[in-house]
Homo-oligomer: A and B are copies of this chain.
Amino acid sequence: MAAGTGTGVRGPRRRPGTRTRPGLTPERIVDGCLELLDEQGPEGLTYRRIGGHLGVDPTALYRHFRDKDELVLAVADRLLARMLEDFAPSDDWRATLREMMVRLRAMYLAHPDAAVLSFTRTTRRPAEMGAVEIILAAFHRAGFPPAEAVAYYRALVDFSLSWAGMGAAYLTLEPAARDGDEGAWAREYAGAPADRYPHIAAAAPHLPQVDEEATYLLALDLLLDAIAARAAAHTAPGAASASVPGPAAPAPDGVQAGK
């Protein structure tokens, strides 16, 4: 019940109430992994390198984490923990959600290698649960009943998670590949034959210089506006609990949670 920071299978199983000399702890391992990921690429996270970084035999890690998957989940949760470190939800549910989503992306881009390893995963560990709780609380304050809150929670979180994850994945590409991809907009697309690709030719000068962050913020605010508009329908008319600026979108169906 409530697995802690990583109970390995190959030994530890320290009896309750027993503390042994630290030596190597899950915390130190996870910290080492983050350092390693930040200074090296995502392929920097190999058992051999972690061992070298901590001055320890690589296989010693198996004493604390059953396999690499468990190690990755622990690193992922540490990342979420840092995101929440100096964060306090405000009374404004919309601002709370926006701030969290902005932080999520910032943290992913700051630690892209760790982000890529974990952005599809559910860590089911303390930090993640804390974040989920904050988000659900915000939707509750917005006036949504639980079923709908869950639907919007998924829409918002999956949106940010995937967008930030893709941004992180892009940053982790080997320099050669990234240069190739990046330069493609300036080179290959600029040189596209204007007869076959007239619109590409017309847009070519603008293609390489898109501000990725502005694009993200635009999309994020659009989503939040739409959600805020729905929230207004749930509260007593005229008693919105937060700044709800926008008019409503036409409400496509199929947003209810169940089947």
Contact = CB atoms under 8 A, between A and B. Distances in A.
Contacts of A254: 211, 214, 217-218
Interface string A160-194: 01110111011001101100111011001101100
Interface in A141-173: 146-147, 149-151, 153-155, 158-159, 161-163, 165-167, 169-170, 173
A99 interface: no
A121 B140 CA distance: 39
B184 A124 contact: yes
Interface in A195-214: 196-200, 202-203, 205-207, 209-212, 214
B219 A159 contact: yes
Contacts of A202: 136, 140, 146
A115 B238 CA distance: 46
Nearest to A72: B177
**Interface magnitude class on chain A:** 35 or more
A16 interface: no
B1 A215 contact: no
A57 interface: no
Interface stretch (A46-54, A80-88, A220-228): A220-228
Tell me the dominant secondary structure on chain A's binding face: helix
Interface string A32-49: 000000000000000000
A214 B255 contact: yes
A136 B215 contact: no
A235 interface: no
A129 interface: yes
A181 B121 contact: yes
13 contacts: A2-B188, A120-B169, A121-B177, A124-B189, A132-B189, A133-B200, A150-B203, A154-B212, A158-B212, A218-B254, A218-B255, A225-B250, A247-B247
